[in-house]
Structure 1
Amino acid sequence: MILEGTVLRGPEFEPIEGRVVVEDGEITALEETTARSNDVILPAFVNAHTHIGDSIAKEAGEGLDLDELVAPPDGLKHQLLRAASRDEMVAGMRHSLEYMEQSGTAACIEFREGGVEGVDAIRDAAAPLDVEPVVLGRETVDAMEASDGFGASGARDGEFGRERNATRDAGKLFGIHAGERDSHDVNPALDLDPDFLVHMVNTEPLHLERVADNEVPIVICPRSNLVTNVGFPDVAELAEHTTVALGTDNVMLNSPSMFREMEFTAKLGDVSAREVLKMATHHGAKIADLNCGVVEPGRDAKLLVLDGDSHNLVGAQNVVRAVVRRAGVSDVKDVVLEKSA
């Protein structure tokens, strides 16, 4: 497979005219040459924080606060999940995963409720698709063992020491929500030595020092944070201290669109479009230990092709800025999610 156009090359997304050669699911060559197309070729997205089980309850809970919406065990989300059948949940999750795939998302890091059964359900939902969910089980060590790691709700909801130790012993990924409602659970979360933190809207200087000293990545979900009225993360300050990735959070609150998340972050956060594109691609891939998120030889062929001649993108003077602040699903020409041989 050969893709031609403006290629956003390497970790800095340098726009070059050229072509990308793909063989057996891997980028084998990147050639700077005259292209016969105005397509824009970039890495497919990695959505670094999702809860897609609540795809059955989009836009439910108007007027409820964060705890009433999603706090375990009796937030509205958990009530609706308990009431839904397995078939309903699998069908809802498949719709969300299909949307991710069609809109250029190669993988998501999913905090999966429902124990082992919940892990099995998302595996079934994803089975016919090319998008790859990195599934972090919740609630039990058994769910962690059946998945790719453990996704903790937050240090205010439990101690999680046993689960953290078991996850570490299994060599798997451990993530935890922190600093969402307030800053009180950040230090206890950091005490668990997590592989990454989610949200970090409410932080103090000591927290950021600990994050930097221990090189703990952070996943931010700005649209979700405003919907739940907990504030907007200081994106620039977080990025000064550590690796920051982007996630869309609960499907009941927001569409799993990385285009929308990028535009929102770029226009409200004091960071460059290039930095936001990093957050949406290789920073998430780095957290999940995936070999994608960059267009360069040796990487997995997880690529997004945008139509540079679309009504929305034609005439763009700054390609990276246009991709981040302007592009959308209607500009997607192709999504390449090749699997390695």
Structure 2
Amino acid sequence: MELSGTILAGPEYEPTEGRVVLDDGEIAAVEESPTDSTDIVCPAFVNAHTHLGDSIAKEAGRGLSLDDLVAPPDGLKHRLLADASRGDLVASMRRSLRFMRSGGTGAFVEFREGGTEGVAALESALEPLDLEASVMGRGDAAVLDAADGYGASGARDGEFSTERAAARRRDKPFGIHAGERDAADVNPALDLDPDFLVHMVHAEPRHLERVEDRGVPIAVCPRSNLVTGVGVPPIAELLKRTTVALGTDNVMLNSPSMFREMAFVSKLCDVSAPEVLRMATAGGAELAGLNCGVIEPGRAARMVVLDGDSDNLCGSHDPVRAVVRRAGVNDVTDVVLR
């Protein structure tokens, strides 16, 4: 199989006229050559932080604080999750997953509430789809028997050393929210030696030094942070210190659209378009330990093809900026997830 057009190739996403040759689910070659295709071929996105159970509660809770919305165990979303039937939960998550795939997402990292049953519900939602999931379970350490890793709510909600030790014994990743509403839980989260952090809106210089020293990747979710009124993460500063990945967070608050998240970051923060695209692709892949996110030989064949001649994208002078700042789901003509 081949894909041709303007290839956003290599770790710098250099626009290259040519073709990508695929073989047995892998990128075999990226060849520069003349082509009549107006397509733009981009790595499929890796959504580095989702809460898909919230699909049953889209736009619920207007005017509520962050704690009243999502804090365990009594936040609005947790009450709605408890009241939902398994069938409704699976169906709503599947619809969000279909939307994510149609918008070019090929993989995602999910913080899944509900213990072992919550993990099983997401697996059921995924069954008809070819998305790659890293499912970070919650509850007691036994959830690690079913989940790909452990996703802790935050150091202010519990101590989590038992779950951290259990993840380490099983050689599974441990991620934790930190610095979302304030800086108080950042050092306690770092003391757990996590494999990655989520949010870091209120990261201070002392925290950044610890992050850099330990090489801890960070998933940022700026649209969610703005909606909940906690601020915007210092993305440019974080990028100087470590790998930064982009996530969409709670479906309750935002659609799981990487196009919207990229445009938001690009227009709000002092970050270049290639850096934003890297956060949405290779950054998430690195955080999740996946072999995708870059179009180069040896990588998994996970790509999204956009119509560069669509009414929206026609006339774009910079394909990378066009993908990051302008493109949307209606510009997607194919999602290749081999």
Q: What interval of TM-score do these two structures reach, taking the shorter chain for normalisation?
A: over 0.9
Q: Which residue of 1 aligns with 2:195?
A: 195
Residue aligning to 1:263: 263
Partner of 1:121: 121
1:271 corresponds to which letter in structure 2? V
**Uncovered stretches (5+) of structure 2, i.e. residues with no partner:** none
Corresponding residue SS for 1:286: helix
Amino acid paired to 1:227: V
1:287 aligned partner, one-letter code: L
Partner in structure 2 of residue 301 of structure 1: 301
Alignment-derived partner of residue 37 in structure 1: 37
**SS across alignment from 2:175:** strand
What is the CA deviation profile of residues 40-60 of structure 1, one whole-angstrom value per residue up to 9, with x for unaligned ones? 001000000000001011000
Counterpart residue identity of residue 179, structure 2: G
Tell me the CA shift for residue 204 of structure 1: 1.3
Q: CA deviation at 1:241?
A: 1.0
Q: Aligned pairs, how many?
A: 338
Aligned equivalents of 2:203, 2:33: Cα separation in 1? 47
Distance (whole Å) between structure 1 residues aligned to residue 323 and residue 105 of structure 2? 14
Q: Which residue of 1 aligns with 2:71?
A: 71
User: 1:81 and 2:81 equivalent?
Assistant: yes
Q: Could you say which residue in structure 1 is the equivalent of 2:274?
A: 274
- Listed one character per residue, the Cα deviations across residues 159-197 of structure 1 (whole Å, up to 9, x for unaligned) are 000000110111111100000010000000000000000
SS in structure 1 opposite 2:116? helix
In 1: Cα distance, 2:299 partner to 2:203 partner = 35
SS of the residue corresponding to residue 106 of structure 2 reads strand
2:186 is aligned with 1:166: no
1:36 is paired with a residue whose SS is: coil
What secondary structure does 1:276 align onto?
A: helix
- Note the C-alpha offset of 1:275: 0.2
Aligned to 1:333: 333
Q: Distance in 2 between matches of 1:171 and 1:127?
A: 25
Structure 1 position 139, deviation (Å) = 1.2
Aligned residues of 1:100 and 1:131 also touching (Cα < 8 A): no
C-alpha distance after superposition, 1:206-256 (max 9, x if no partner):
000000000001110000001100001111011111110000000010000
Alignment map for 1:39-58 (pairs within 5 Å):
39-58=39-58
Which secondary structure state, in structure 2, belongs to the residue aligned with residue 16 of structure 1?
A: strand
How far 1:329 sits from its partner (Å)?
0.5
Describe how 1:1-341 pairs up with structure 2 within 5 A. Answer: 1-338=1-338
Amino acid at match of 2:62: E
**Distance (whole Å) between structure 2 residues aligned to residue 110 and residue 145 of structure 1:** 16
The 2-side partners of 1:135 and 1:36 are apart by: 41
Partners of 1:204 and 1:39 in 2: CA distance: 42
Superposed displacement of residue 287, structure 1: 0.8
CA distance in 2 between partners of 1:15 and 1:316 (Å): 12
SS in 1 for 2:55: helix
Q: CA deviation at 1:144?
A: 1.8
CA distance in structure 2 between the partners assigned to 1:160 and 1:243 by the alignment: 24
Structure 1: 5+ residue runs without aligned partners? none
Q: CA–CA distance in 2 between the matches of 1:60 and 1:20?
A: 43
Q: Does the CA-based 8 Å contact 2:203-2:234 persist in structure 1?
A: no
Structure 1 residue ranges, 4+ long, deviating more than 4 angstroms after superposition: none
Shift of 1:23: 1.5
CA displacement, residues 261-301 of structure 1 (integer Å, 9 cap, x when unaligned): 00000000101000000000011001111110000111111
When the two chains are superposed, the root-mean-square deviation of aligned CA atoms in Å is 0.6
The answer to whether the 8 A contact 2:7-2:16 is kept is yes
Q: CA deviation at 1:14?
A: 0.6
What TM-score, normalized to structure 2?
Answer: 0.99
TM-aligned CA deviation for residue 145 of structure 1: 2.0
